[in-house]
Amino acid sequence: MAEIQIYIDGKWVPKSEAKVSVFDHGLLYGDGVFEGIRAYNGQIFRLSQHLDRLWKSAAKIELKIPVAQNQLANLVKESIRRNNFSDAYIRLLVSRGVGDLGLDPNKCPVPNIIIISDKLALYPANFYENGLESAIVSVRRNITEALDPAIKSMNYLNMILAKIEALKKGVPEAIMLNAQGHVAECSGDNVFYVKDQAVITPPVSAGVLEGVTRAAVMEIVKTKTSFKLREALFKPEELLKADEVFFTGTAAEVIPVTRIDHKPIGSGKPGPATRTLINLFKDLIRKETSPSV
Ligand code: PXG
């Protein structure tokens, strides 16, 4: 098997040669931004939405991405072409680049763009059939005034602490509250619930990442179903009383959540709204990533 080709420092190199400097502020401080993108059928899903978010994240940390958006789009596409991937996960990073040991980002003249494509680690199929179990963790999502959760920054410790707590509780994904005690999001997914024919998710102002999957699912709810769509703040009690709960994310797509804190949600089985949205999301992927598009 040929080694995966990775884009770094302006070149394509085999995985074994893809190394960052110990003076890169991405490593020293988590100073950088990234995207987690998916390819289906050799086509990148919602690439422009991911790149728009990358540019927004970069602007919020005053990082100027040193290439044009269409150039970076071409590099992302090249990354799956070079590696002959049909279905893949693409990790696109822009770090502040190499500087000295101080925090000052002005000492880092050249941001480093890295593109890694690889096979995707998926949740097991039985989670989609039977639902996954989650837990509300004690780690709160960063407050917007400290580190805006809308920035997909290379510092993911907030989510890693939540994930550690979830794994200790024996569940694969954590539900995090914001500082006010409202439900925010998961370590790598957005949260939705269904109640009385309405689909509800926290607004971005709750302090969550504006998920590309979240946006696609909201669009589907509005245009392809008769459910009402609401962005609203809610407390964990609302989730526990919901008819259905599901998470959305690039890796998970739409995944049913059937137990939270050991309590069953609704019937304790994936519900009809979630099943419908799983199927409609799959239709959207097929439509947007068929080779004719
Ligand atoms: N919230 C957070 C904190 C995330 O990191 C999402 C929500 C969902 O956003 P998207 O745009 O993906 O719908 C994310 C994204 C992984 C992995 O390997 C995690 C994400 C994306 C891709 C892969 O765990 N998180």
pLDDT at 212: 98
> How many C-beta atoms lie closer than 10 Å to residue 121's C-beta?
7
User: What global pTM score does this model have?
Assistant: 0.97
Atom 7, ligand 1: residue with shortest CA distance: 189
Q: For residues 53 and 77, what is the distance between their CA atoms, to the nearest angstrom?
A: 17
Model confidence at 50, pLDDT cuts 50, 70, 90, reads very high
The alpha carbon of 190 and the centre of ligand 1 are apart by a number of angstroms equal to 8
End-to-end CA distance of the chain: 30
Reported as a pLDDT band with limits 50, 70 and 90, residue 2 is: confident
Domain ranges of the chain: 5-118, 125-289
Position 182 pLDDT exceeds 90: yes
- In terms of CATH architecture, what is 125-289? Alpha-Beta Barrel (3.20)
Residue type at position 253: E
C-beta of 36 in contact with ligand 1 (< 6 A): yes
> Is the Cβ atom of 255 under 6 angstroms away from ligand 1?
no
Please tell me if the CB atom of residue 201 comes closer than 6 angstroms to any atom of ligand 1: no
pLDDT in tens, 100-143: 999 999 999 999 999 999 998 889 999 999 999 999 999 999 99
- pLDDT at 220 exceeding the cut of 60: yes
Helices and strands (H, E) in the chain, number of each type: 8, 15
Burial 90-107 (b: 16+ CB within 10 A, else e): bebbbbbbbbeeeeebee
SS3 of 253, please?
Answer: strand
Q: What is the band of 78 on the pLDDT scale with cuts at 50, 70, 90?
A: very high
User: How many A from CA of 111 to the centre of ligand 1?
Assistant: 23
The number of the ligand 1 atom at minimal distance from the alpha carbon of 49 is 11
Read off the tokens for 8.
Answer: 């770094």
Which CATH architecture does the domain made up of 5-118 adopt? 2-Layer Sandwich (3.30)
